[in-house]
Chains A and B, each alone.
Chain A
Amino acid sequence: MHTIVAKAQLSPNVTRLDVSAPRIAQIRKAGQFVIVRRGEGAERIPLTIADSDAAAGTISLVIQAVGKSTKELVALAVGDSIKDIAGPLGHPTELIEKGHAVCVGGGVGTAVVHPIAQALSKIGVHVTSVIGGRSKEWVIYEPELRNIGDVVVCTDDGSYGRKGFVTQATEDLLKAGGVDIVYAVGPVMMMKALAELTRPYGVKTIVSLNPLMVDGTGMCGGCRVSVDGKAYFACVDGPEFDGHLVDFGQLADRGTTYREFEQEAAKRCADGDCRIGLSNKG
């Protein structure tokens, strides 16, 4: 059992849970994730480790509440516990040793970019984070990233930072030159656009993929992604890959497999037929 020791609402649908997981807190590296199962009968869901505190023995999980399982997770309160957490899984991020890295985060992807920026900054790499959201309230991890390096905030509606997408801000940085690598995490179409953007500049672009996953140990093959025409498993071979080689179309498409199921579950949830405490049934 993993007790929730702190909880924070980062944006209208993104929540951070700091959870007790001493072994993982001690050894996790940037880019790695865990598989979380809230309780009996719940799904196994992959979540990136956004941060950790080895001394306190806690890891930070940042969850975007979109489906039934994630809504149930974020409904947990401080003092509640999560039944199963396995990890850290996946390969750690391939870090450059010196130079200038641009870390691009879109929406909840910013939470995945955070540990990467943290690790880069720790070894002396100059980090510029480009983070975005629909509007001001959707921008997350800005203070933490400001402690690490330069930050460019973008909002779709211009309510905060510069108006526009993270791609435009990244393009300005590429044009200015001196960018050695780009790390990009966010919606599939954002990562695809960034990979296309950096390609003509010849700047290596690492993306972190979050496909459907069941066991997270290479057993089920559900998380297969096509990279350079070959099938890789995001859980054991990734989750980070060379963005210039990823088949994003296939990834986006496979991601819609259970859309109807999820909508149905979400509807049942909204009708009060679930255990997340939003209804009178509690």
Chain B
Amino acid sequence: MSTSNLTPKQRMQIARQEMPAQDPAVRRNNFGEVNLGMEAELAKLEAERCLQCRDPKCMKGCPVNVNIPRFLDLLTAGDMAGAANSLLSDNALPAVTGRVCPQETQCECECVRANRGSPVGIGYLERFVADWARSNQDAITLVNAAPKGKKVAVVGSGPAGLTAAGQLARRGYDVTVFEALHRAGGVLVYGIPEFRLPKKIVDQEVERLVQAGVKIECNVVVGRTYTVPELREQFDAIFIANGAGLPMFMNIPGEHYKGSYTANEYLTRVNLMAAYDPDSDTPIIKPRRVAVVGGGNVAMDAARTAQRMGAERVSIVYRRTKAEMPARAEEVHHAEEEGVAFDLLCAPVEIVANEKKWVTGLKCVRMELGAPDASGRRSPVAIPGSEFIIECDVVVSALGTRANPLLTQTCPDMKLDKRGNIVVDEKLMTSIPGVFAGGDIVRGAATVILAMGDGKRAAAAIDDYLMAKA
């Protein structure tokens, strides 16, 4: 089915192309995007590396099931409009996922070429095609199905909500998205920093959905402004994707001192509230030394943000080693390149402060890896008497989140698990008929793409549900 003239052997000879990036020494001082995107020639060459497998394993690794070989083949043939329409029909937010997906554990790790050398740069190519689509909106010919005369409410405009909204609009539903904050995008605008995902791109992806007929109402806090039972009276179905919410704490002394932030607060101040812009009204502490506790993507984002806000030393404090860090490989690599230090095998025990209650340091204990635990990971064990202090004026805790009770509090009939997350069946339906849920409020903290996968599955399930009722 391939349209390329190259033989598989010739394809195998092409080496993986590198993503052009801003120089680390330069970018650590600005909020511009780190990866600069590929030129057309480079992208085409990279796409030629795809072997067009008859049984494409890469697709199985993709939570939203993008038909990867198809859009790569169209890209190779130079049919950009075809590639863009193909990609967008599978994925509502490709300019986002092309930038923030952990490809190395999903599509790219399944790529047959990963076994012998490097996988096809699927993420880079997704980004390339999505960016082309952003500047060539007229070439997008996807149309909505005939109106079905049914209304669906989507709670939350993060990755899960936007994906579901896009898919439902395409299927002919009248969709309204309710967003609690003043701007659509959820974690894509409050959490993920500008240098990894420019906010302009999120706005454009949202705008495309609005053009496709999705209505977005900001400043509506479901659970307060409207309850789920109230929405249920006005809508034929509801998809709840209000995210995880409440940040977790270390539960060590000193977490209330001035200079102790949760990553959510630190990132929200800088991203959503634009504290990186000197003209913004949003106050933020400008630290000299920063300790970021945690080893996930959010920790990397916070550390790299602090670096850009002018800190002299930023370190990641993590109780295991780099190998166990849950962050995306590229983020750890970028952080290292930018000069973020790694205080590994360290566990915080106390935040220390001066007499005016400003943070002056993070007291830690050194750890060593002991015997493997039930999950097979070697669990860290504290070394007695090894306490030491990491000097810093800001501590950012990036320890994950727990369920936000705002919505569920006012929906007593909805079944929750013991952590407060919403329980759903295999069709993502909650214990209330017609009310579906997905993303972090079901999974606990996960990734953008897993949330999007839920959004896509929920849209199909809602369609089935409403069609069966019709």
B329 within 8 A of A: no
A217 in contact with B245 (CB, 8 Å) = yes
Interface residues on B, range: 35 or more
Chain B 235-278: CB-based contact to A (< 8 A → 1; otherwise 0): 00000000101110100000110100110110011000110010
Q: Is residue B224 within 8 Å, beta carbon to beta carbon, of the partner chain?
A: yes
Q: Are A86 and B256 in contact (CB under 8 A)?
A: no
In the complex, the chain A residue whose C-beta lies closest to that of B280 is: A41
CA distance A42 to B279 in the complex (A): 10
Residue of A nearest to B248 (CB): A221
Q: Smallest distance from the beta carbon of B273 to chain A beta carbons, Å?
A: 7
Listed residue (A41, A85, A220, A236) with the most chain B CB atoms within 10 angstroms of its CB: A220
B357 within 8 A of A: yes
Interface residues of B in 281-326 (CB under 8 A from A): 281-285
Instruction: Flag if B269 contacts A262 (CB, 8 Å).
Output: no
- Decide if A37 touches B224 in the complex (CB within 8 Å): no
Kindly provide the distance from the CB of B262 to the nearest chain A CB, expressed in whole angstroms.
4
Interface string of A207-242 (1 = CB under 8 A from B): 000000011111111101010000101001000000
Interface residues of A in 29-73 (CB under 8 A from B): 37, 41-44, 68-69
* B180 close to chain A: CB less than 8 A: yes
Which of chain B's residues have a CB closer than 8 A to the CB of A218? 245-246, 404-406
Q: How far is the CA of A49 from the CA of B414 in the complex (A)?
A: 30
Determine if A89 is an interface residue (Cβ-Cβ < 8 Å).
Answer: yes
Q: How far is the CB of A156 from chain B (nearest CB, A)?
A: 28
Supposing A87-B225, A221-B262 touch, asked if A214 and B273 sit within 8 A by C-beta, the answer is yes
Contacts of A24 in B (CB 8 A): 225
> Which stretch in A100-108, A171-179, A197-205, A251-259 binds the other chain?
A251-259
Contacts of B225 in A (CB 8 A): 23-24, 27, 86-88
- Tell me if B124 counts as interface (CB < 8 A to partner A): no
| B246 near A236: Cβ-Cβ < 8 Å | yes
- Closest chain A residue to B269 by CB distance? A214
Nearest chain A CB to B408's CB is how many angstroms away?
11
Q: Does B218 contact A (CB under 8 A)?
A: yes
CB contact under 8 A between A37 and B245, given known A43-B282, A257-B258:
no
When the two chains form the complex, which single residue of A69, A83, A86, A236 contacts B220, counting CB atoms closer than 8 Å? A86
Judge whether B65 is part of the interface by a CB distance below 8 angstroms: no
- Is A217 a contact of B404 with CB atoms below 8 Å? yes
Q: Provided the pairs A219-B404, A221-B264 are in contact, do residues A37 and B283 lie with their beta carbons within 8 angstroms?
A: no
State A193–B275 Cα separation when bound (angstroms).
Answer: 36
Residue pair A44, B274 in contact (C-beta under 8 Å): no
| CB pair B404 A236 closer than 8 Å | yes
Known: A84-B219, A224-B256. A217 touches B182 (CB 8 A): no
Contact between A253 and B258, CB atoms less than 8 A apart: yes
Residue among B249, B262, B265 with the highest chain A CB neighbour number at 10 A: B265
**Chain B residues numbered 217-241 whose CB sits less than 8 Å from any CB in chain A:** 218-221, 224-226
B320 to chain A, nearest CB (A): 24
Q: Is the CB of B256 within 8 A of A250?
A: yes
Closest CB of chain B to A32's CB: distance in Å? Answer: 8
Given A233-B246, A257-B258, residue A214 in contact with residue B357 (CB < 8 A): no
State in angstroms the CA–CA spacing of A89 and B220 once bound together.
Answer: 10
What are the residues of chain B within 8 A of A44 when measuring CB–CB?
A: 182, 273
Cβ distance B317 to chain A, nearest Cβ, rounded Å:
18
Query: Across the two chains, which residue of chain B brings its CB closest to A264?
Result: B283
Which of A69, A83, A262, A265 is the one whose CB lies under 8 Å from B182?
Answer: A83
A87 and B221 contact, CB distance less than 8 A: yes
A86 CB to closest chain B CB (Å) equals 4
Which residues of A84-120 have CB atoms within 8 Å of chain B's CB atoms? 84-89
Q: Interface majority SS on A: helix, strand, loop or mixed?
A: mixed
The one of A83, A89, A217, A258 in contact with B283, judged by C-beta atoms closer than 8 angstroms, is A258
Whether B190 sits at the interface, judged by CB under 8 Å, is yes
Q: Is B38 an interface residue (CB 8 A)?
A: no
Does residue B181 face the partner (Cβ distance < 8 Å to A)? yes
A87 to B279, CA, bound (A): 27
- Specify which chain B residues have a CB less than 8 angstroms from the CB of A27 in the assembled complex: 225
Given A41-B274, A220-B247, A233-B246, CB of A215 within 8 Å of CB of B285? no
> Which residue of B is nearest A214, CB measured?
B268
Residue of A nearest to B243 (CB): A219
- Asked if A231 and B265 make an inter-chain contact with CB atoms under 8 angstroms apart, the answer reads no
Closest Cβ–Cβ distance, residue A217 to chain B (whole Å): 5
The answer on a CB contact under 8 Å between B247 and A221 is yes
Chain A residues, CB < 8 A from B258: 253-254, 256-257
Whether A43 and B224, one on each chain, are in contact in the complex, defined by CB atoms closer than 8 angstroms, is no
The reply to whether B224 and A87 contact each other, CB–CB distance below 8 Å, is yes
Question: In whole angstroms, what is the CA distance A94 to B261 when docked?
Answer: 31
Contacting pair A220 B256 (CB below 8 A):
no
Cα(A219)–Cα(B441), bound, Å:
13
Q: Identify B264's interface contact among A37, A220, A231, CB under 8 A.
A: A220
Q: Known interface pairs A250-B256, A253-B258. Does A219 touch B268 (Cβ–Cβ under 8 Å)?
A: yes
In the bound assembly, the distance between CA atoms of A68 and B279 in angstroms comes to 12
Q: A233 to chain B: which residues have CB within 8 Å? A: 246
Beta-carbon contact of A265 and B268 below 8 Å: no
* Contacting pair B406 A217 (CB below 8 A): yes
Query: How far does the Cβ of B294 sit from chain A's closest Cβ, in whole Å?
Result: 14
Tell me the bound Cα distance from A85 to B285 in angstroms.
26
Nearest CB in chain A: distance from B258 CB, A: 5
- Chain A residues contacting B283 (CB-CB under 8 Å) are 257-258, 261-262, 265
Select one of B243, B245, B256 contacting A254, CB under 8 A.
Answer: B256
Of A42, A86, A88, the most chain B CB neighbours within 10 A belong to A86
User: Which residues of the partner chain A approach B243 to less than 8 Å between Cβ atoms?
Assistant: 219
A65 to B1 Cα, complex, angstroms:
69
Indicate if the CB atoms of A84 and B404 lie closer than 8 Å.
Answer: no
Q: How far is the CA of A139 from the CA of B226 in the complex (A)?
A: 36
A44 to B281, CA, bound (A): 10
For A217, give the chain B residue with the smallest CB separation.
B180
Q: B181: which of A42, A68, A69, A215 is its contact (CB, 8 Å)?
A: A215
Which residues of chain A are within 8 angstroms of B284 by Cβ–Cβ distance? 261
Over the window 165-192 of chain A, the binary record of Cβ atoms lying under 8 Å from chain B Cβ atoms (1 yes, 0 no) is 0000000000000000000000000000
Interface residues of B (CB under 8 A from A): 180-182, 190, 218-221, 224-226, 243, 245-247, 249, 255-256, 258, 261-262, 264-265, 268-269, 273-274, 277, 279-285, 357, 404-406
- Knowing that A41-B277, A68-B281 touch, tell me 15 more A-B residue pairs with CB under 8 angstroms: A44-B182, A69-B281, A85-B219, A86-B180, A86-B221, A89-B221, A214-B273, A215-B190, A217-B181, A221-B265, A226-B256, A231-B249, A236-B246, A261-B283, A261-B284
List 10 A-B pairs, Cβ < 8 Å.
A41-B274, A41-B277, A215-B190, A216-B221, A219-B264, A221-B249, A221-B265, A236-B246, A257-B285, A261-B283
Kindly list the 9 A-B residue pairs having the minimum CB-CB distance in the complex, ordered from nearest. A220-B265, A258-B283, A261-B283, A86-B219, A221-B262, A84-B182, A221-B247, A222-B265, A257-B258
